[in-house]
Structure 1
Amino acid sequence: MYLRFVMLITLILSMAAAIAAQQQRDEYIDAADPGIKLFVRSKQPETPIRATEDNVVLFIHGATYPSTPDFDLQYKDYSWADWMVSKGYIVYMFDKRNYGFSSRENVMDQPAANNRPATRSYLAIRDIGAVVDHIRKRHNISKVSLIGWSWGATTAGFYTSLNSEKVKKLVMYAPAYAYAQHTNLGAGSGSQDKRKPNEFNYAMGAYRLGTKSGNDNRWDGEIPVADKSSFREEGVRDAFALEALKTDPTSESRTPPSLRAPNGVMEDSFMQATGRRIWNAGSIYVPTLVIAGEFDTWSFPEDRDLLMRDLTNAPVKKSVLIKNATHFVLFEKPRFEFFEAISDFIKTP
């Protein structure tokens, strides 16, 4: 018993030392809308560095999971945030309203069917704006580089199309955009009202529930070979699910455990995937990288081709495809190739 106690204390102290070494800061800031607090995490090197427009980045999470399991998974060497810090970046991430550790509105505590989809994209970009302005003020810089994954890529692009003067560089990782025959998000998907095929399925309600098995099945389904270990170390799948479920205090109240994920993203994605785009990349005026795994089923090649076509005002635009990778490339075997491609783009003058 004593030995277990000593081991536990040692583990806690080592974790605290690692956090201190990275100068991790967890805080809450005011959103643009009254009554909403946004959880923000920042990490930077042990030896303080001067913040510049070239070394400050903000990660923006996607449709189902909040920021910390996505970008700061403390399992082996899978924290993308820690990797960026090791390369000399000051890293920020945050949870959009109704996700993770940020404020949850009343609709998230009611039966999902009682309300329309929560956290529409126009509200999510208000949250992005609050965090960007917080970072700019803290470090006395004019611009921040944005790295968005999945719906995070969409909202990062949407935000930048309205605020290019505040963005240094834009990285859109696995973006859906304007492909009007997107069968996984549009017609034929669960987001479609089968009685009114042009309309969103509002029976989905304010939020949906994300389970470990649901994410496992989706991830496994994107890997096009029977041996999933050829793409992914199996332990990371379980580690991610465990950390993700911890971000919803109600997850253990359901069987199986599940977290609540707002459906605003599903409504907006359905509109985009049926020809009704919510923003236009032609209004982006900053260098932009579009990047995805070869077998991604959220971001179709057609989405990325349309983005590259519409980025007419981006001074630099680049598209990168990571071979033998899926939507979850940040946790897969080619992840360091993926990380390097993004870091090189941000660092290039």
Structure 2
Amino acid sequence: MAIVTIDHQVPHISTVPANKDEPVKLFVRERRDGNPGPGPRKPVLMLHGRSVPALAGFDLQYESYSWAEALAKAGYDVFIMDLQGSGRSPRPKMDDPRNVNPAQQPLLTPRPPGFTPGPLNYPFQLTNSYSDRDELNTVVEFVLDECEVEKLAFIGWSAAAFTMGPYAVKNPDKVESLFLLAPIFPPLGTSDAPATLPRPGFPTSIGGKAGFDQGWKNEAPCEGQRAPGIVDVAWDAIMANDAVGSTWGPPTGFNRIRNFVRWGWNNTTAAQGGVLGGSVPVLMAYGEYDRQVNTSPPNPDPEFNFSVPALYDAVAGPHKLMVKLACAGHSLVWELQHKNVHNLSKHWLKHLKVDGKTHGVFDMDTDGNISPAP
């Protein structure tokens, strides 16, 4: 089977405050069989989280790590998108190092040409829940038109849940199913948008390779959980999708992370109308050592108190499943369990079941064996 790669530039009128009403092009990569058989195409749309560009997470061109390629080989037409502020989509206001979090500006050494740490040139957060969902909708419409179908399947990693979850609730006529890997979910998070947008703050924060490695290491206590050299491979892929950040602070560069304000993803949203777990079946999967999705001890600020089991409980419909993967952390797309994640998603997309069931909580060991959770 020959898998083809097609990179699309999807037209969109921006609703990001920093470039509002400007025409932009959203980056979308397609991976599919170059010689598909008869019958309708089966589209899957993959969305990244807060800090990792879509291609680095979903289409890592190294050994068996490309999730998108695994799905394409299984017969799916896979689309991978970057929101504005991430990866290969536009990054308004982010190329200016004076728009980096002021507390982090001194980390930019050697300094970019002409840069001196100082006040922000754009003192606001960059994107928001409205703009992210608008961009998702534009790409959804593009994919549905491209594949000549009425619905598509969603796969989202981490903070993608903030965008894909509420979108599916509002648009069950377009979304066939929802697979959330390591979903961020604040059960008591705010429901309403701020009174005014953009919200004061800064557009960009930065992360370096050493912090990336250490944060991941803290969630990887199992022998063999991270393959030798995979930290370098993953970091190089992140840098390959950031033409500017990769030049800041040589030799390893910085990952530029969009700062966004979000709302409307909480117990109320997840239960709304019984859509999730009803007309839109939901599978949520997470690693047992993931410290980002399950806040322990609980954060006193409800906006930063996250729980995957709380999301399972909040989904009102009966067609919902939760799987905890052994020896896995938040970066499980690059870990020992990555092939089992691929296989779990393929089984889900085809059958909308786990272990023959449409409801329940399960554990998965490192061999991919699934059993009901105690």
- Residue 106 of structure 1 deviates from its aligned partner by 3.0
For the residues of structure 1 that align with 2:135 and 2:76, how far apart are their CA atoms? 22
**Structure 1 unaligned residues grouped into runs of 5+:** 1-17, 182-201
Which residue in the other structure is 1:309 paired with?
A: 313
Normalising to structure 2: TM-score of the pair?
Answer: 0.74
Q: Give the % identical residues.
A: 27
Match of 1:344 among 325, 341, 347: 347
State the partner residue of 1:282. Answer: 271
Of residues 168, 179, 195, the one that matches 1:160 is 168
Does 98-107 or 316-325 show the bigger shift? 98-107
Q: Does residue 30 of structure 2 align to residue 42 of structure 1?
A: yes
Deviation at 1:282, TM superposition (A): 1.4
Deviation at 1:248, TM superposition (A): 1.5
Does the Cα contact within 8 Å between 1:168 and 1:287 map onto a contact in 2? yes
Partner SS, residue 307 of structure 2: helix
> Contact conserved, 1:107 with 1:115, CA < 8 A, in 2?
no
Number of matched pairs: 299
3-state SS in 2 of match to 1:327: coil
Q: Kindly indicate which of the two structures has a greater share of residues assigned to strand.
A: 2
Instruction: Note if 1:258 corresponds to 2:254.
Output: yes
The match for 1:83 is: 70
Question: What are the ranges of 5 or more consecutive residues in structure 2 without an aligned counterpart?
Answer: 15-21, 101-119, 190-198, 296-305, 353-374
In structure 1, C-alpha distance between the alignment counterparts of 2:162 and 2:280, rounded to whole Å: 15
**CA distance, structure 2, for counterparts of residue 50 and residue 84 of structure 1:** 18
1:332 aligns with 2:326: no
What is the distance in 1 between the residues matched to 2:257 and 2:201?
Answer: 11
1:47 to 1:179, Cα distance in 2 relative to 1, 3 A: same
1:43 Cα deviation from its structure 2 partner: 0.8
Match of 1:172 among 180, 201, 223: 180
Q: Which has the higher helix share?
A: 1
Q: Deviations over 1:86-134 (max 9, x none)?
A: 1111111011012111112135535234322112222111111111100
Following TM superposition, where does structure 1 have runs of at least 4 consecutive aligned residues deviating by more than 3 angstroms? 49-53, 276-279
Aligned match of 1:210: 207
Return the alpha-carbon distance in structure 2 between the equivalents of residues 41 and 278 of structure 1: 33
Quote the Cα distance in structure 2 between the aligned partners of 1:253 and 1:331.
24
1:139 and 1:116, CA in 2 relative to 1: closer, same or farther beyond 3 A? same
Aligned to 1:151: 159
Alignment deviations for residues 234-257 of structure 1 (CA, whole Å, 9 cap, x no partner): 222111101111211212432141
Alpha-carbon distance in 2 for matches of 1:116, 1:158: 24
Contact residue 295 and residue 325 of structure 1 kept, 8 A:
yes
**CA shift in 2, pair 1:98/1:211, >3 Å:** same
1:230 aligns with 2:224: yes
Query: Which residue does 1:320 correspond to in 2?
Result: 323
Partner of 1:11: none
Aligned to 1:184: none
Distance 1:279 1:111, change over 3 A: farther
What corresponds to 1:189 in structure 2? none
Structure-2 separation of matches of 1:170 and 1:70: 18
Give the alignment's TM-score, normalised by structure 1.
0.79
Moved more, 329-338 or 316-325: 329-338
Per the TM alignment, residue 139 of structure 1 is displaced from its structure 2 partner at its CA by 1.1
For 2:170, the aligned partner's letter is L
- Classify the secondary structure of the residue corresponding to 1:130: helix
Q: Distance in 1 between matches of 2:246 and 2:140?
A: 33
**In 2, Cα distance between the equivalents of 1:246 and 1:51?**
36
The root-mean-square deviation of aligned C-alpha atoms, in Å, is 2.5
Counterpart position of 1:299: 293
Measure the CA separation in 1 of the matches of 2:292 and 2:63: 27
